[in-house]
Structure 1
Amino acid sequence: MRAFIASFGYAARGVGRAVQAERNFRFELCAAAYVLLACPFFGFTPAEWALVFVCIGGVLALELVNSAIERAVEDPDPAHWRPAGAAKDMAAGAVLAAGLAALAAGVALFWRPGGWLALFGWFAARPAVLAALAASLPAAGWFVFGMGKKG
């Protein structure tokens, strides 16, 4: 049981390392946060909420797998340069495929003018919240591009 519980710690440490070292993972986290903030204005059904979470989870999970593969084949010997490069490219392609599928699902889910009117109207009636949202954008930019390992 102890090893089972410890495995959650290892997983959390892996996510933490991805947050520290992977710009794309940080971007995807920020995008997920903004999407989740917008969702309540669109009156999603439980199934639509589930689709949002599956899309977010799928993209984040594949980004973690991509990062793991990149680390595993980081410095191959000369005999394995091409296979290592191919593995990294394929893993990145998996993230791209999941991201495009999530984008398509997002377009289908958010293609509701009433939801956008509700969202904009809510923020228009709450300028302080709108200002806080606007202030979050530079913070998100720093989180994505300014944080992490340098060099």
Structure 2
Amino acid sequence: MSIKQKSHQRQSLISSFKHAFEGIAVGVLNERNMKIHLCAMCLVILFGIEFKISIIEWCICVILCGMVIGAELVNCAVEAIVDMVMPDIHPNAKVAKDTAAGAVLVCAISALIVGGIIFVPKIFSILLK
């Protein structure tokens, strides 16, 4: 592989990361629910620090937070594409948007349940002391 090809690959990788971070920024700035998910993630981090959760519990929390944020970003992308391709109201556009939003809801509810399993016993142990 030539030096020019390696340079192009490096630049392409940097460009890919730049575009990905721009996509995250768009989601954070434009999506109300993304802000809610990020606030929830901050609470998870604060609770995790306060309750000194285990490494396994941290890993679970990180995976779930990533799953919810990732699902919200995909939902944002689906909505943008549907709005671009189908500016008029159409039943299939509604299905696409509603199912993408439903996927986020399923991820968020799953994360909430697992978060409850991790944190509720720790909260009760402090309250019952």
**Normalising by structure 2, what TM-score?**
0.82
Question: Shift in Å at residue 5 of structure 1?
Answer: 1.2
- Aligned pair partner of 1:53 in 39, 46, 62: 62
Structure 1 unaligned residues grouped into runs of 5+: 119-151
Question: Shift in Å at residue 114 of structure 1?
Answer: 5.8
- Aligned pair partner of 1:71 in 80, 86, 96: 80
Higher relative contact order (CA 8 A, sep 6+): 1
Contact 1:56 1:102 in 2 (8 A): yes
Q: Which residue of 1 aligns with 2:5?
A: none
Question: Shift in Å at residue 77 of structure 1?
Answer: 5.9
RMSD, matched Cα:
2.0
Question: Is 1:28 matched with 2:37?
Answer: yes
Contact 2:51 2:122 in 1 (8 A): no
Q: Which residue of 2 aligns with 1:101?
A: 110
Question: Shift in Å at residue 46 of structure 1?
Answer: 1.1
Matched positions, count: 117
SS of the equivalent of 1:110 reads: helix
Question: Is 1:3 matched with 2:24?
Answer: no
- Which AA in structure 1 matches 2:69? L
SS of the equivalent of 1:111 reads: helix
Q: Percent identity?
A: 34
Cα separation, 1, equivalents of 2:122 and 2:25:
37
- Which AA in structure 1 matches 2:68? V
Cα separation, 1, equivalents of 2:124 and 2:63:
21
Cα separation, 2, equivalents of 1:114 and 1:95:
27
Instruction: Classify 1:93/1:34 alpha carbon distance in 2 versus 1 (closer, same or farther; 3 Å).
Output: same
